[in-house]
Amino acid sequence: MPPLPLYLQIADQYQRIIHAGGLKRGDRFPSIRHIMQTQQVSMSTAVQACHVLEDWGLLRAKPRAGYFVENTDAHQPVASGLRPAANDTTAKPQQDLSQRYDGLHQFISEWMAKAEQYPVSIDFMTAVAAPRSYPTAQLNRAAASVLRQHPDILTTFARRYGHPKLRTVLARRSAERGMTLQAGDLTITHGCIEALNLALRAVCSKGDVVAVESPTFYGVLQALEAQGLQPLEIPTSAEHGLSLDALEMALDSQQPPVRAVICMPTLHNPLGCSMSDANKEALVALCRRYQVPLIEDDIYAQTSAEHVHSKPAKAWDSDGSVIYCSSLNKILAPGLRLGWMAAGRWQARVEMLKYSQSRYLDELGQLTAATFMDSQAYDRYLARFQARLQQLRQRAVQAIAQHFGNQVQMLDPTGGMMLWLRLPDHVPALQLSQLALEQGVLTSPGPMFSSKPRMAHFLRMSFGAVSEEQIEQGIAILAECMARLAAAPTSH
Amino acid sequence: MPPLPLYLQIADQYQRIIHAGGLKRGDRFPSIRHIMQTQQVSMSTAVQACHVLEDWGLLRAKPRAGYFVENTDAHQPVASGLRPAANDTTAKPQQDLSQRYDGLHQFISEWMAKAEQYPVSIDFMTAVAAPRSYPTAQLNRAAASVLRQHPDILTTFARRYGHPKLRTVLARRSAERGMTLQAGDLTITHGCIEALNLALRAVCSKGDVVAVESPTFYGVLQALEAQGLQPLEIPTSAEHGLSLDALEMALDSQQPPVRAVICMPTLHNPLGCSMSDANKEALVALCRRYQVPLIEDDIYAQTSAEHVHSKPAKAWDSDGSVIYCSSLNKILAPGLRLGWMAAGRWQARVEMLKYSQSRYLDELGQLTAATFMDSQAYDRYLARFQARLQQLRQRAVQAIAQHFGNQVQMLDPTGGMMLWLRLPDHVPALQLSQLALEQGVLTSPGPMFSSKPRMAHFLRMSFGAVSEEQIEQGIAILAECMARLAAAPTSH
Ligand SMILES: Cc1ncc(COP(=O)(O)O)c(C=O)c1O
Ligand SMILES: Cc1ncc(COP(=O)(O)O)c(C=O)c1O
C-alpha cells in the first residue's frame, strides 16, 4: 500500500502522542515553527497536519495563541503510585506521570514511566548483558584486593580527572583500536551518558542545533532536550550508517547552523550497523572542514569479535576535533557506572565542567576495573563475552524468522546486543509494545529513537539481558500480539 | 584608616585580577552593565572604576566596542606543564592555564590552577578530614561484606534514583534532625555538588539571577557560571548568617527577578556560622511568600556535637518548596562521593535530569555506606569524629592567637572544619596565599568566595586534613609571610 502523505503521517504521529497522554487537554500544542523544525517539513505540511488534527477534534485553535489540545477522551491515564506517596509535611501536589518526567522528551518519558507500571518478566529493553555474562567473580576478587592494598581508598578524596591507573589502561587499550591517546588525554566520567552531556555542554549553548543520526539512541535525544538543544535528524541507513551527503547538506545550509554532530559509527544503537573505515575517515574530514566538533559515541565495539579491534572515527582525528565518548557499562560491568572520554581540544573545558558538575569519581570502582583490564584475563573474558552474545543474537534471529516469517524485516547485525525490526505497515510499534508490555514483555518502540513518523513501525529488541528460553518465549508473545493487532485493527 | 571609595575598591579588585592573569591583554573587559550587576553598584560607580583603570593604563576604550585590557606587563604567567603534553596525533594548541579552566569563574580557576603548580606540604584548602579521622576499617569491612552478600553487584544495572536501603537509612537519620522524609522523597547523587547542580537546572534557566550568600562556597559560584546563571550576593553576617532583610529587598525589587536562593544555614562555608532556628524558619517562610525555591546546602552539621541534631531549614518546609542538598563526603567517606537530595515539588524534574545527565549511582558504595549508617557504630563514630575535629579546631585557634596576636580577627566557629580569618587592611589575601603557597602551604584566599572587594582581605583555612604539627607549622609560616608582606608593601 502506498505511504500516507506526509501531513497525514505527522498528524497520525501526534494523535498517537495525544492518545498516549503525552499531551493533555488544555496543553499548548507545539507551534508550526516547532513542527517544521523537528519534523523537517515545510510550513504548509505542518499547517495541514494541524488542520487534520483540528478536524479530528483533537486540537482547537485560539486566535493569536496557537493550538491547544482539546479532546483526549480516548486517553487512558496510567495509574500513578509506584513511588511512595509524599508524606504530610512535604505534601506536594499528587504527581502524575508526565510531571515525573517533566519537560524531557515526552514520548520517551511516557514509555519509560509506563514500563514501570507493569511487572516485566522478559526485558528486551535494557541494553546490557546479564550479570553472569560479565566477569563477576574476577571483578569481585579485584575489588577485594584493591580494598586490601588501598585501605584508605573509601575515605580519601578522589584524584582529579580520574585515577591514573585506569586512565593508563584505557589509553593503552585504545591503541589496540588505532587511537593514539595518552593517559592525560582522558577524563573518567559517570558513564558514557555523562561524557555525552559534558561534550554537549562544552561545545554548545542553549538553542543550538545538533545533528544526530535518524534514528539515534534515545538518551541522546533526552540529553539534547534537557540542555535546550535542538536535534536535527540526518538520514541514516540501516546498513551503512549516517548519510554523509545528507550531513554535508546540513552542515552547508542549515540555519541556524549545526553546532555539533553526534554519531555512533560502530555498532549503532538502535540500528546495529557500522560505517566503513572510509566513511569514518570521511566523516572526520567533513566535520573538520566545517569546523564542527564531532562527538563520537562508541560503546559497543567490544561486544563483537568482528569489531573489537575496529577503528573508531577518533582514530582519524589529527587535530583534536573529535570528542570521543565511551564506557565500560556494556562491555565489562554495568554496576560500576564507569565512562570515559577523550575530548581533544575541548579537554580543558570538559574537565572544568566535570569538576563543577560532579567532581571526580570514587576510586574503588576505577581501580577494580583497571586491575582487571590490565591483565590478559580481560582479553580471554572478552572472547567469551562476545561468543555468548553471538549465541543469543543467533537465537533471537532464528526465533524471529520462525515466529514472524517474512512479516518482519531486519538486518542481522554483526555485534551489539540489539535488533532493529521493521514491522508491517499496519502494525504501529507503540501499540505492539503496549500489548506486549501488558503480558510482561518489555521492548522499545521506534518513536523513542526519532521524531520521524516512519519510525512508528520499528521496534528495538535487546537480547543481552535475557536467556535463550526468554528469547523464545518473548518473541512468541510478540508474534501473538502482532497477530491480534492485525486481526482487530484499532480505531486509528 | 577610612575605607576607599567604592569605585576605587572596584578598580583595585580588577587591577588585581588583571595582574593575576585573570584577564589578558586584548581581552574584552566586562561591560558596565556586568560590573553594575555583579558588584551591585550604580552606573556612575562602575563608569568611574573603568576610568580609573584607564588612567592606570590597564584598559583602553574602543569606540562602540567597550573596554579592552591593555597593559598587563606586570602579569607573570604561571608555568604550564603539570599535565602530560598532548601527543602528536591530537596536537592541540598548547593550553595555557586560563584555557584549562575555560570560562569558569576565572579567579577561582586561576587559583586552583596555581595550586597545582607547587608542591603542597600543608593543605589548608581541601575541606575534608584526614582518612584516619573516618571509619576506614569499618567501611572496608562493610564493603567486603556487601561484595560477599551481593556477588552480582558490580555487574548488575543499578537501581533507579538510588539504592532503597541507603535512601531508607538517610530518611530515617534525617528524622533525627526534624525532617520528615520518606525513602521515596530522596534522590542519591554524585556528591552534594551534583545535587546543587541538579537543583539549579531544575528551577532556573540560562541568564537567571540566583541569590547567594556573600561570601559563599566557591563551588556554588562555579556551578552558577557553568550554567550561565548570575549570582546576586546577599549580605551575610559572619555571626548570624544570611541577612533576611537584604534577601527580602532583593526578592522584592531585583530586576530581573531572583529565581532561586542558595543558602547554607548550618555551619556556613566559609564563615562557619549558623542561623538561629527562628531565622531558618523565617527564611523558609520568606522564600515561600515570594514563591522562590530555596536550595539548602547542608553538609557540615554532623561535624559538630553541637549541631548534629540541629534542624535544617528543610525541617520547616511544609509544601515542598525547599530543595535540600547534602552528602556523606565530609562526614563519613570522601572516597565514596555519595550525595543526596530531597527536591520537594521538583523531585520529578530532578530525577529525570539526573537520569539524563548521569543515570544512577553504582551500588557497592551506596550499600557500604547504608550498612554502616544503619548501625549504632555510626553514632559512636560520629562522636569520635566530632571530638577529633574539635581538637584540631582548638589547636588552630590557639596557634592563630599565638602567631598573629590581634592582627587577625576571626569568630571561633562551633563546628565544621574551617576558619574564616580577617587579615589586616594592608594585607591582601591573594598575596599572602601566593607567598605561603610558594612555601608549600595552601590556603583559600577570600576572593574565591565572593566578587565583593572587601573579601580581598579574608582567608579561609581548613584544618580537617592536617595534623596538629602541620597546624602549628603552617600557621607559623603564614604569620611569617604576613610579616614579610607588611614589611615590604608591594607596588599596588
Ligand atoms: C549508544 C549509547 N550511548 C550511551 C549510552 C549510555 O551509556 P552509559 O550506561 O555508559 O552511561 C548507551 C546506553 O544505553 C548507549 O546505548
Ligand atoms: C558547602 C559545600 N557544599 C557542597 C560541597 C560539595 O560537596 P561534595 O563533595 O559532596 O560534592 C562542599 C565541598 O567542599 C561544600 O563545602
**A339, A202: one domain:** yes
Secondary element (H or E) of residue B460: strand B458-462
Final residue in a domain of this structure, among A374, A405, A422? A374
User: Which residues does a 6 A CB cutoff place in the pocket of ligand 1?
Assistant: A 127, 191-193, 217, 219, 264, 269, 297, 299, 327, 329, 339; B 359
CB contact set of B72 (below 8 Å; sequence gap of 6+):
B18, B19, B21, B23, B24, B25, B58
Strand order in the sheet with B444-445: B418-422, B458-462, B444-445
**A232, A350: one domain:** yes
CA of B368 to the centre of ligand 1 (A): 26
Per-residue pLDDT at B55 = 67
Scan residues 391-420 of A and list those with Cβ closer than 8 Å to B.
Answer: none
CA of B192 to the centre of ligand 2 (A): 6
The CATH number assigned to the domain holding A65 equals 1.10.10.10
What's the pLDDT tens digit per position in A170-184?
Answer: 999 999 999 999 999
Is A86 within a domain? Answer: no
Q: Does B228 touch chain A (CB under 8 A)?
A: yes
In the structure, what pLDDT confidence band is assigned to residue A71 with cuts at 50, 70 and 90?
Answer: low
Number of compact structural domains in chain B: 3
Is A74 within a domain? Answer: no
Per-residue pLDDT at A467 = 97
Mean pLDDT computed over A349-358: 94
Is A204 within a domain? Answer: yes
The CATH number assigned to the domain holding B452 equals 3.90.1150.10
Contact between A266 and A306 (Cβ < 8 Å): no
Could you list the residue range(s) of the whole structural domain that residue B38 is in?
A: 6-69
A311 vs A50, more confident: A311
Is B74 within a domain? Answer: no
Give the 3-state secondary structure of residue B418: strand
**A483, A399: one domain:** yes
ipTM (interface pTM):
0.81
> At which residue does the C-alpha cell 517544521 appear?
A36
**A158, A300: one domain:** yes
CB contact set of B157 (below 8 Å; sequence gap of 6+):
A126, A128, A334, A335, A465
pLDDT lower than 50: segments of chain B: 1-2, 74-103, 491-492
Confirm or reject: Cβ of B269 under 6 Å from ligand 2: yes
**B33, B171: one domain:** no
The rounded distance, in Å, linking the Cα atoms of B215 and B272 is 11
Mean pLDDT computed over A8-29: 82
Per-residue pLDDT at B98 = 37
Rg (CA), chain B: 23
**B191, B303: one domain:** yes
Task: State the pTM of this model.
Answer: 0.82
Is A81 a residue whose pLDDT tops 60? Answer: no
Could you tell me the three cell numbers for A299? 560503546
Is A136 a residue whose pLDDT tops 50? Answer: yes
CA nearest A343: which of A334, A353, A333?
A353
Q: Does B136 touch chain A (CB under 8 A)?
A: yes
Mean pLDDT computed over A80-104: 33
Distance from the first to the final alpha carbon of chain A = 17
Is A465 a residue whose pLDDT tops 60? Answer: yes
What's the pLDDT tens digit per position in B28-61?
Answer: 888 888 888 888 888 778 887 887 787 677 888 7
Final residue in a domain of this structure, among B374, B396, B419? B374
**B396, B355: one domain:** no
Give the 3-state secondary structure of residue A286: helix
In terms of DSSP bridges, do strands A444-445 and A458-462 run parallel, antiparallel, or are they unpaired? antiparallel
Final residue in a domain of this structure, among A345, A374, A403? A374
**B160, B219: one domain:** yes
Per-residue pLDDT at B103 = 47
Could you tell me the three cell numbers for A190? 559517570
Give the 3-state secondary structure of residue A458: strand
Is B365 within a domain? Answer: yes
pLDDT > 90 in chain A, percent = 69
What's the pLDDT tens digit per position in A32-42?
Answer: 888 888 888 88
**A215, A121: one domain:** no
Scan residues 336-355 of A and list those with Cβ closer than 8 Å to B.
Answer: 336-337, 342, 344-345, 347-349, 351-353, 355
Name the residue type at position B190: H
Could you tell me the three cell numbers for A244? 554523509
The rounded distance, in Å, linking the Cα atoms of B101 and B114 is 12
Is B304 within a domain? Answer: yes
Could you tell me the three cell numbers for B312? 535544617
What's the pLDDT tens digit per position in A366-389?
Answer: 999 999 999 999 999 999 999 999
